[in-house]
Amino acid sequence: MDKRVLMGLVLLLILSACQSSAGEALPLAEEAYEHPSGIFTIPIPEGWRISQGETADVVWLTPPVDGPDLTLVMIAAELPSGTEEEMNAAAQDLLEAYLREYLPYEDYEIYNSAEVRVARNPAMILDFARPLGESYHVGRMEMIYLPAHLIYLAGFGPRAAWDAFLPTFRQMVEGMSFSIQPLMEGAE
């Protein structure tokens, strides 16, 4: 195959991948939602409903009846005080418990992870997928670490619905604010 044709196909593939990941975010409500813990606020899409979970720290975000087939959960958990190592171990235990309890399947695979910052707080992103017929069920977990707290956000659904919603999810996370000041790096 001619190198120019091959390069053209590669360029076309890259451009189509960029186009499919860039969608338009849904309009967000004028007023941000404050989690019952009081630890954070987050903008939510207009018309979406909030419902309390089994415990006060768990909140579900539900799209309108004619909205996308998605599931979103927001959790604020306290971490035990102690050393950084003990808090990291507790955060890992919470993450594993959340994965078992709030993801409706066990056969997912994490295909992307990244360490980021959300409003100056350290955070981790985990993108996951599992087969769903001819496509995939995909989503994102975002864990935001605050002093003595862990904020867990997760959203998932069929690939087409999630891909269309991902710009909104990113905008929601970018609009978060916290009542707890972030730890300063290097501070004891």
Strand pairing partners for 122? Answer: 117
What pTM value is reported for the model? 0.80
- pLDDT 10s digits, 20-42: 445 799 999 999 999 999 999 99
**Mean per-residue pLDDT for 1-30?**
55
80-90 CB burial, b ≥16 within 10 A, e <16 = eeeeeeebeeb
Q: Render the burial of 7-21: b for 16+ CB within 10 Å, e for the rest.
A: eeeeeeeeeeeeeee
Fold of 3-178: Protein Transport Mog1p; Chain A (3.40.1000)
CA distance 142 to 92: 13
